[in-house]
Homo-oligomer: A and B are copies of this chain.
Amino acid sequence: MGRNKYPEETVAKILDAALELFCVQGYEGTSIQDIVDRLDGMTKGAVYHHFKSKEEIFNAAFDRAMAPIVERRRATLGAGNMTGAQKLKRLYAPESVVPQIELWARMHPAADPVKSSRLLAMQYQGSFDESADGCLLPVIEEGIADGSIACKCPREAAEAVSLLANLWLLPLFRPLETKDRMLARAQCLAQMAAAVGLDLGNEVLQTTAQIWDVWNRAGW
């Protein structure tokens, strides 16, 4: 294969192949050669021309998959005509969550947390960084400022809710539960959040139901 006039296409192909393999086989379970084999005709030299390490491929693939979702949330946060409390509910409404879930479902991450340990670690870290500090916490603080939320420990509440939402409600790294049990989890989380002043809204139940549907349809 000669030189491509549009190298971004090559990069995109590499990241597409990589993300799917990393999700299905895990990070350590995926070799560079596995990725190369999915890029017909291309060789390892091409991959290492565009990325300097496997680590970098992983991060780039992950960031790329996350970008539209982060953008979407940013849009929700940006709207100026809503109170903090309203934005909070919106964050856990189906329209905010389901697109993310559909992405994950397409990737079919391994239900075994040990096989998916790297993804799990990133979700874990993300629960503090992006989800909590960069997304949930500002909304809560906005709500406190405008009087629509009464929360005495905003940072802690944000972290706890993010963690539970990302690693407990989302069935990414665990075998799929029954719909009823997922709904019970959602209700439990809502109750716990309410205890620290956060009203996640009734839509959480609908969101959870839709998550289950998407996941179940994806064949778990």
Judged by a CB distance under 8 angstroms, whether A218 is at the interface is: no
Contact B168 A163 (CB under 8 A): yes
Q: Which A94-146 residues have C-beta < 8 A from chain B?
A: 113-114, 116-118, 120-122, 124-125, 128
CB distance from A27 to the nearest CB of B (A): 8
Roughly how many angstroms separate A122 CA and B120 CA in the complex, as a whole number?
Answer: 11
Which B residues are CB-close (under 8 A) to A120?
117, 120-121, 124
Query: Once the chains bind, are B187 and A191 in contact (CB under 8 Å)?
Result: no
Q: Are A160 and B164 in contact (CB-based, < 8 A)?
A: yes
* Stretch from A15-23, A74-82, A151-159 that touches the partner: A151-159
Q: Is A174 an interface residue (CB 8 A)?
A: yes
The answer to whether the Cβ of A66 comes within 8 Å of any Cβ in the partner chain is no
- Please indicate the chain B residues that have their CB under 8 angstroms from the CB of A195 in the complex: 191-192, 194-195
Chain A 73-92: CB-based contact to B (< 8 A → 1; otherwise 0): 00000000000000000000
Residue of B nearest to A125 (CB): B113
User: A184 at interface (Cβ–Cβ under 8 A)?
Assistant: yes
In the assembled complex, A28 has its CB within 8 A of some CB on chain B: yes
1/0 per residue, CB under 8 A from B, across A167-191: the answer is 1100001100000010011011101
Instruction: Using A113-B122, A160-B168 as known contacts, list a sample of 14 further A-B pairs with CB atoms less than 8 Å apart, ordered by residue number in A.
Output: A113-B125, A117-B121, A120-B120, A128-B174, A156-B184, A156-B187, A160-B189, A163-B163, A164-B164, A167-B167, A192-B192, A192-B193, A192-B196, A194-B195
**A-to-B contact residues, CB < 8 Å:** 28, 113-114, 116-118, 120-122, 124-125, 128, 153, 155-157, 159-160, 163-164, 167-168, 173-174, 181, 184-185, 187-189, 191-196
